[in-house]
Amino acid sequence: MTSTPEPGTDGASADVRELADVPAVEVISRAAVMLMSSAAEKLGLSEADPAESPYLDLDEARRVITALAGLVTASVEYLGPHAGPIREGLQALQKAFRETSAHPDEPGKGPGEKYTGPVY
């Protein structure tokens, strides 16, 4: 989203008006996609061999997945048809975390599982 600042302004009010026009479901969906992408990178999923990824960081992945789970759980009623794919993406990341971890958490103790329930 880019906008041209009005003459004599710093552009902030133009950006705010543009953001105000974006439906809430789109803002929430974009935030979820950003969190999913971050978690995937931190799980090394962008590499052929995730264990060799220079971005592999399970502690960071746990934080991002938990934030995603909180967002999805809190906003699922507003996501409409977007809810299913976003939930599936979250669950795939939770499973990938469990598979990547040398010492997997007990079911219900993994990232975000306090919001989503156990993922097996």
Asked whether residue 8 carries a pLDDT value surpassing 70, the answer given is no
pLDDT at 9: 54
pLDDT at 14: 63
Asked whether residue 103 carries a pLDDT value surpassing 80, the answer given is yes
Cα of 73 vs its chain's centroid, Å: 12
With bands split at pLDDT 50, 70 and 90, how would you rate the model's confidence at 109? very high
Residue 58 phi, psi dihedral angles, 5° rounding? -65, -30
pLDDT at 19: 85
90 neighbors 116 (Cβ within 8 angstroms): yes
Classify residue 51 by its DSSP letter.
G
What pTM was estimated for this model as a whole? 0.84
Average pLDDT, the chain: 90
Mean of the pLDDT values across residues 27-47? Answer: 97
